[in-house]
Chains A and B, each alone.
Chain A
């Protein structure tokens, strides 16, 4: 059974960089059949796609966040990561990692989510 688990600091100061990791278990992140993605949800608000990544390193980013985000993969650890720079209070959200089938644009498996608060 595939499982995804987000991890990282729950509190980040304004103007700093938010860093999260998604650890994949029960499956290989290097499988050629899947993309991996990040989605966020501010408290009481809707879902926002952040970006997606293929194990080879190919990435697709939300245009509204593109200048501030980096998504990368560490196949040796079966993990992928998100970095979001220059954060403000508006970046406070629950962050989810998820898996997509290659060429098919839906999120079939999700992590439980982790809340990141931006505050001094």
Chain B
């Protein structure tokens, strides 16, 4: 199975909004509403930010939102804050009952 495709890096200034894309195929992202997003700070374990495309776990800021169109899912962070600087990973369920991650995106808050 191939990793989902994410941009290597994105950046934005405090207060701005950014969007990270996650592109797969009809056998994963496009075929199921099982896309999730994780935030990872250096040296830390990943943290679930979005599940099942659009849902936020309790305690996650409503500045984080998710969406999907066709084979591409997106994570949008509004009102960027310095603490949002981290690596972000998408993942999806696949048609062969496996899970696949994206390659990761490094978010820099300028």
Contact = CB atoms under 8 A, between A and B. Distances in A.
Interface of A: 37, 39, 46-49, 52, 60-64, 96, 104-108, 110-113
21 contacts: A39-B101, A46-B3, A46-B102, A47-B38, A47-B104, A49-B99, A49-B101, A61-B98, A63-B1, A96-B46, A104-B52, A105-B32, A105-B34, A105-B91, A105-B93, A106-B36, A106-B48, A106-B52, A106-B91, A110-B45, A110-B47
Contacts of B89: 46-47
A106 B34 contact: yes
Given A64-B1, A105-B34, A111 B103 contact: no
B51 interface: yes
A35 to B, nearest CB: 10
Interface in B60-103: 89, 91-93, 96-103
Contact of A105 (B1, B36, B57): B36
Nearest to A48: B101
A99 to B, nearest CB: 11
Interface in B13-47: 32, 34, 36, 38, 45-47
Interface of B: 1, 3, 32, 34, 36, 38, 45-48, 51-52, 57, 89, 91-93, 96-104
Contacts of A106: 34, 36, 48, 51-52, 91
Contacts of B38: 47, 107
Nearest to A108: B48
A112 B45 contact: yes
A24 to B, nearest CB: 15
A21 to B, nearest CB: 17
Contacts of B46: 47, 96, 107, 110
Nearest to B4: A46
Given A63-B1, A104-B52, A106-B91, A96 B45 contact: yes
Residue from B1, B45, B98, B102 having most chain A Cβ neighbours under 10 A: B45
Given A47-B89, A49-B100, A107-B46, 16 more contacts: A46-B3, A46-B101, A47-B46, A47-B101, A49-B99, A49-B101, A52-B99, A60-B98, A62-B98, A63-B98, A104-B52, A106-B36, A106-B91, A107-B38, A107-B91, A110-B45
